[in-house]
Structure 1
Amino acid sequence: MPQPRPAAVANSLELLPSCSSRAHLEEAASPIRAREKWSRSVEFVLSGVGFAVGLGNIWRFPYLCYKNGGGAFLIPYFICLVTGGVPIFFLEVGVGQFMSEGGITAWNICPIFKGIGYGTTVICFFLNIYYIVILAWAMHYFFNSFTSDLPWATCGNWWNTPTCFQHGDNSSMSSESPNNASQGGVTEVVSNLQRKDAVIEYWENKVLGISTGMDDVGGMQWELAGTLFLSWLLVYFCIWKGIKSSGKVVYFTATFPYVMLTVLLIRGVLLDGAEEGILFYLKPDMSKLQEAQVWIDAGTQIFFSYAIALGCMTALGSYNEFNNNFVRDCILISSINSCTSLYSGFATFSVLGFMAKEQGVPIETVAESGPGLAFIAYPKAITQMKWAPLWSVLFFFMILLMGLDSQFVGVEGFITAVVDLYPSTLRKGFNREIFIAIVSAGSFIMGLSMVTNGGMYVFQLFDYYAASGMVLLWYCFFESIAIGYFYGANNFYEDIALMIGYRIYPWLKYCWLCFTPLVTMGILIFSLASHHPLTYNRTYVYPNWAIAIGWTMALVPMLTIPIYFVWHLATRPGATLSQKWQAAITPIISRPDTTTKAAEESIAPA
């Protein structure tokens, strides 16, 4: 049911002075700080790349590619990309730029669906709490790489057990641990026990100090608490001055990881076994396309890697000038994002191929996804290289930069949404800086639960439920429905033309109306049908009370949409349901920045 743009809205677009921005109007009317804009369009592009291109490109896409048929996986990947991921990506940036508002108030474009804005802001808040813990882990490894011998390469440390073994250690069943030395220096012969890699013991015993489960919180891992604090300090000073500071930081944080990735790729392809690893990564298996799980993995990877349904892309778009050609920018960001996923796969599997050949095992036994790749598999491979500390420093520096720009853009997205909701309070004086400090401090305190001995279980609970593929698919479905059917796909196409000066081809319109809702809801239904209880390392099963907390984190933002929908409709003025409905779907648009009759007449055809 596309709605014609109300006359009041259309008139307001024409009556505003030409080329007068909202920032100028606010500045003249009140002491409230003017809303910022990007200094250059390239800052938006770099920020978009920095947020969308993250650790998932490094540790999730390559694994899914090999697991789901190698090169054949690219077929469902690109189908889901052009029908689901890219249309929502364009939609969020376009709404942000047109409304010049953050993730909540931008949905005044379709007020009855403003619950989308509130819900995505909640998801973004959850994401910011747990994602930065990865930076704390990476910072720990980075600092401990400045040594002649990497500490995770050997046994015989206080965190090792009698079952520890290291690369090149073929003395099958005996080792000595510090615990044995403290008991009179007697060497125990460990027999018939499962041996454990030194790299895994460093990760589990030294870094995580992992406990037995969710109900065993244990003590604080003080080194991780320190690196978590340093990570939040970095994030705060990246964004405390708004896009004036973050827009400059991304020149380095969004580009230098590609230098590091290229260096690691060159090193990787020169290793013995690299060719086998790359062939394993890309070897097509067309039979996999018949499996529903392959399509589910392709769809969820798209929505993860494009960082949509979080309100952050809307926030980034809101800082664009009204006439910025965001279509060109989005095409560039999308291309860089997907190409980075492919590119990083070569770097990852060249190293895994080398690792498999060194150990004489199949590649699938060393290929991992998630933190296991960054903090177990890759560090283990590095220990087998010459100049291991150098490669370790470079690798974890890259991880830090890729995680840092994703994190501070995520925090900026949350801050922007709340500040735009209360501009008269939070844009005055130093209120914004103080608010960022409060949010950072509060998030740090909540994140401390993830750097205890039981912290990994808390982290995985957040990762599995709070910002899961299921939640993101739910929001992508409703975003396309809201714009396609309630605001009107044709209306939004005209808004895009008003902003960029020409009409684009109607593919995105068809996606918002048909393909995107079908793809997102289809994948969501299949995901729920194949849903499995959360486990850790396939052995620890989460207790029911923890699962209940997880589902609460997922359902609270998901239910925001229908609850707000009903509340907003019920509270609209009008004597009849029809009058209330009309009031509920009427856009609340205060202005575009440059909207004149002449601008509308100058729009070029597609």
Structure 2
Amino acid sequence: MIYESSYDSGRLPYKPDLARGYWSKSSDFIFTGISLAFRLDVFSIAWIVFTYAGCASVIPYIISLFLFVVPLFVMQSFLGQFSSSGFISAFRIAPLFKGIGYISLAVNLGVLTYYSVFAAVPLLYLIHSMRPILPWSCEGIKHWSYNFTENQVRHLCHILSNDTLPPKNNFNWFSMHEIPSNLFLKSRFNHMELFEHSSEGFYISWEVLLCTLFTWALIAAIFYKCNSVEKLSTMLRYSIFTAFILLIISVIRFALIPQNPLLSIFDFFVPSWEMFMPGFPTAGIFVISAFGAGWGTIITLASFNKFKTKTVQNSWIICVGQMFIFLSFGYIVYVTDRYYNEIKQAYNSKNTDSYVYISKLWILFLSTGSVMADMSWPNLWCILYYAMLLLAALITVTVSLLSTLQSIFDEFEEFRTRKTEVTLIIIGLLGICSLYTCSNQGVFLHVIFVNDTIVTQTALNLLLFFVVLWVYGRVRFQRDLEFMLSQSFSTCKIYMLRFVSPVCLVLLLLAAIFISLMYHFVGATVVQIAAVLFIVLPWLYVPGYMIYIMLQTTGTFKTRFKRCCRPMDWYPVELEDRQRYEQTMRNTDMTHQLHELEEETVT
């Protein structure tokens, strides 16, 4: 045996789950990887990229693909595909750093506790889109806005109908107007300062609560019926394909909104330098969302691949496909922002005695509603659009939950015989925790958490580079990758992974920390506590697990450290691939080093 077993360190060896299954089709990994671009919470902080830069964001995006995005995809895909295990057990490659897997578990569960709001809100709007008159249209808003507050609320319909209201602040020339579709969500909470950090009181929207419970019930039904990877991958394939079609329809319809659609498309794809420069610096933060919600999803998704699946080619296909998804949502945001700016500019040019400002919040989910209300057949377009957003959110939660659950089952063997019970218990607990997002204090919780997860994702990716390319080693990584792919992998690419990509991630990490601190400065106390529980405290797992695993090993400190850094039970799971791996390794120079490690005496 040329690899080292956990028995040598006094621990039980890893027992692979041979019944975990594979993708029903090889293309399912590509489809599921592209669907990670449906992580739409990042638009809460990064929509400014497309609002100001337009398609010019593609330039830094493509640069990021070459520098660190595709390299990270390849590295994470290698870990999952070679080991056939999730993001916890894959760290058998260097057991000392297995605490990274437990950090990922905590982060993924934290993300899932708030991400259901991205399904609940579109579901709420989808249900109300089936009314004969849209509640957020200028005709529909008359039926409920008068009960919203004692004083009439200024909204977009007042501008469109040339109604005037006296200013409600100390500046006689300044007037804030709400977008009716934004105002509609506030009316569900009966709380005007819904998205303001200074708001007081605790309000619950029972409609959002029911939509959240229905969302988790639907997710539980999906995992109960699709109780195997093959069934779940088939369901995801059709769902992702449907979401793609709905997205294309939405983009085409939004492209026809402006008076001159060709001019809007031209401005988006060929922006001016004044609009290009402000969006360029934030593109790096936006592109990190290509890895999905939480961390380690790529590792787990790749673990369902056959051993010789072409990792590098698939990584490029996925990343390029994700770019088109981001551009599609970005164009919808761009057109929506342009639509309201044209209304504002037209009003301000006619009324010199006052200045109107239109409050645009959560633009992709909320502000787009009033844009569609101004279309012909508004109910149809709202139904299609919010169905697409709902489906995208369900896909994101399902994929992230699949990654998390499979990683738990791979690491904890005792749970494998009770997968259904464990799955339903975890979904139930997540559903209970997510009920906080149905309150005015929690509905916008993702704005702060998404920044924290970006910081955590970037830091974990940096650690991954260190573990794989420095602790495990450049030579062994290149050897294993070439064996798995049955093709050569350039040494120049390895050196780029070791030096260039980490530097880019360090710069990205600094920017993400800066933005995260800014948002925490205005966050509520409950949000700060939640961030500590899900983001800060899990980092104690890394040094804590290091101490724990070294105490389980015998010998001097130096001997224990070396043993804990060496890969344990690191081999392909399938017997045929495993035998070929052993035979190949015996014919390499690394064989001598592996034998020396096995024969090392512990004193």
TMscore range, shorter length: 0.7 to 0.9
Aligned residue for 1:442? 429
Provide the secondary structure at the position in 2 that maps to 1:163.
Answer: coil
Selected match of 1:200 from 148, 168, 182: 182
Aligned residue for 2:416? 427
Provide the rounded CA distance (Å) in 2 between the counterparts of 1:543 and 1:348: 28
Aligned residue for 2:578? 595
- Shift in CA distance, 306/445, structure 1 to aligned 2, threshold 3 Å: same
Selected match of 2:385 from 377, 387, 395: 395
Aligned residue for 1:186? none
The share of aligned pairs that are identical, in percent, is: 19
Provide the rounded CA distance (Å) in 2 between the counterparts of 1:164 and 1:118: 49
Aligned residue for 1:257? 243
Selected match of 2:307 from 292, 311, 322: 322
- Shift in CA distance, 397/96, structure 1 to aligned 2, threshold 3 Å: same
Shift of 1:53: 3.6
Selected match of 1:116 from 94, 100, 107: 100
Shift of 1:359: 5.0
Selected match of 2:465 from 468, 471, 480: 480
Aligned residue for 2:163? 171
- One-letter code of the match for 1:75? I
Selected match of 2:369 from 361, 364, 379: 379
**Is residue 2:392 matched to residue 1:406?**
no
1:339-376 superposed Cα distances (whole Å, 9 cap, x missing partner): 222233334434543444355459998796xx611233
Provide the secondary structure at the position in 1 that maps to 2:535.
Answer: helix
1:115-149 superposed Cα distances (whole Å, 9 cap, x missing partner): 11111111111111111111001100011111221
* TM value normalised by structure 1: 0.82
**Is residue 2:152 matched to residue 1:157?**
no
Q: Check conservation: 2:189, 2:440, Cα contact below 8 A.
A: no
Provide the rounded CA distance (Å) in 2 between the counterparts of 1:288 and 1:507: 36
- Shift in CA distance, 59/393, structure 1 to aligned 2, threshold 3 Å: farther
Range that drifts further, 223-232 or 590-599: 590-599
For 1:345-360, what aligned pairs fall within 5 Å after superposition? Answer: 345-360=330-345
Tell me the number of residue pairs that the alignment of Structure 1 and Structure 2 aligns.
550
Provide the rounded CA distance (Å) in 2 between the counterparts of 1:458 and 1:350: 26
For 1:424-573, what aligned pairs fall within 5 Å after superposition? Answer: 425-428=414-417, 431-465=418-452, 467=453, 469-529=454-514, 532-534=517-519, 541-543=522-524, 546-573=527-554
- Shift in CA distance, 58/249, structure 1 to aligned 2, threshold 3 Å: farther
* TM value normalised by structure 2: 0.82
Provide the rounded CA distance (Å) in 1 between the counterparts of 2:336 and 2:261: 6
Shift of 1:245: 2.8
Structure 1 gaps of 5+ residues are 1-5, 13-21, 28-33, 176-189
1:55-103 superposed Cα distances (whole Å, 9 cap, x missing partner): 2587776631343x44543333222222122211221121011111111
Shift of 1:582: 1.6
1:414-445 superposed Cα distances (whole Å, 9 cap, x missing partner): 1111111112x2221xx111111101110010
Provide the rounded CA distance (Å) in 2 between the counterparts of 1:394 and 1:441: 29
Aligned residue for 2:132? 148
Provide the secondary structure at the position in 1 that maps to 2:362.
Answer: helix
Q: Check conservation: 2:38, 2:393, Cα contact below 8 A.
A: no
Shift of 1:563: 3.5
- One-letter code of the match for 2:401? V
Provide the rounded CA distance (Å) in 2 between the counterparts of 1:204 and 1:415: 35
Range that drifts further, 191-200 or 144-153: 191-200
1:253-283 superposed Cα distances (whole Å, 9 cap, x missing partner): 2111221122122222223243443344344
Range that drifts further, 219-228 or 54-63: 54-63
- One-letter code of the match for 1:203? L
1:217-252 superposed Cα distances (whole Å, 9 cap, x missing partner): 624322111111111122223333031332111122
Q: Check conservation: 1:276, 1:353, Cα contact below 8 A.
A: no
For 1:19-418, what aligned pairs fall within 5 Å after superposition? Answer: 34-55=19-40, 63-67=48-52, 69-154=53-138, 155-159=141-145, 160-161=148-149, 162-167=152-157, 168-173=160-165, 194-206=176-188, 209=191, 216=200, 218-240=202-224, 241-271=227-257, 272-284=259-271, 294-295=280-281, 297-307=282-292, 310-360=295-345, 372-418=362-408
Provide the secondary structure at the position in 2 that maps to 1:533.
Answer: helix
- Shift in CA distance, 261/589, structure 1 to aligned 2, threshold 3 Å: same
Q: Check conservation: 2:204, 2:440, Cα contact below 8 A.
A: yes
Shift of 1:195: 4.3
Provide the rounded CA distance (Å) in 2 between the counterparts of 1:461 and 1:299: 18
Q: Check conservation: 2:23, 2:29, Cα contact below 8 A.
A: yes
Provide the rounded CA distance (Å) in 2 between the counterparts of 1:482 and 1:351: 44
